């Protein structure tokens, strides 16, 4: 009889271990999925957007920058007669260094918000440049550069 009890006890322990393993695996899976889902739903903050712009410009990824930063309607207008590659070449020659400097200048500043927090303006100073503000617009929870 002892042998039967030992077998049942052994089966019960294995069954219990099996249940605990599945519970732990399920718990970990839920945790990982919730972390992934919450990260995907969180729109980038203005600070994150500026940091992303700085990184793209420092790495000279001008096409990626132009695909992501201009207001979508403005980008569509710019692309009417020119390819993204052509725009990127012109941008690299005429604007990239200046814009990188301006983004670095504002990365720790607080913007002036208007339009219920959907427009952010930063004062900038750049030698031989007529504009003194960088303007960002929030469209569908994403920030875009509107200059």
Higher per-residue confidence, 50 vs 1: 50
Write out the residue range of the structural domain in which residue 138 sits.
46-145
Check whether residue 21 and residue 68 sit in a common domain.
Answer: no
Do 54 and 120 belong together in one domain? yes
What φ, ψ does residue 121 adopt, rounded to 5°?
-115, 135
Q: State the pTM of this model.
A: 0.69
**pLDDT, mean of residues 103-130:** 90
Residue 41 pLDDT greater than 70, yes or no: no
Are residue 86 and residue 129 in the same domain, yes or no? yes
**Nearest Cα residue to 96 out of 59, 142, 122, 67:** 59
Whether residues 71 and 139 share a domain: the answer is yes
Beta bridge partners of 114: 119
Residues 83 and 36 in one domain: no
Same domain, 51 and 108: yes
Number of domains in the chain: 2
> Are 108 and 82 found together in one domain?
yes
DSSP 143: E
The alpha carbons of the chain give a radius of gyration, in whole angstroms, of: 27
Residues 69 and 112 reside in one and the same domain = yes
pLDDT digits 0-9 by tens, 69-88:
999 999 999 999 999 999 99
Same domain, 68 and 37: no
């Amino acid at each position: 009889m002892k042998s039967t009890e030992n077998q049942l006890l052994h089966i019960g322990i294995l069954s219990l271990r099996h249940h605990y393993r599945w519970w732990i695996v399920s718990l970990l899976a839920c945790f990982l999925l919730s972390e992934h889902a919450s990260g995907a739903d969180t729109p980038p903050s203005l600070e994150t957007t500026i940091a992303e712009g700085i990184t793209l410009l420092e790495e000279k990824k001008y096409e990626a920058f132009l695909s992501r930063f201009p207001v979508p309607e403005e980008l569509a207008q710019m692309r009417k007669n020119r390819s993204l590659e052509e725009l990127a070449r012109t941008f690299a020659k005429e604007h990239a260094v200046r814009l990188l400097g301006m983004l670095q200048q504002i990365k720790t500043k607080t913007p002036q918000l208007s339009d219920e927090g959907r427009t952010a303006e930063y004062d900038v100073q750049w030698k031989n440049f007529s504009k003194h503000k960088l303007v960002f617009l929030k469209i569908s929870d994403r920030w875009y550069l509107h200059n």
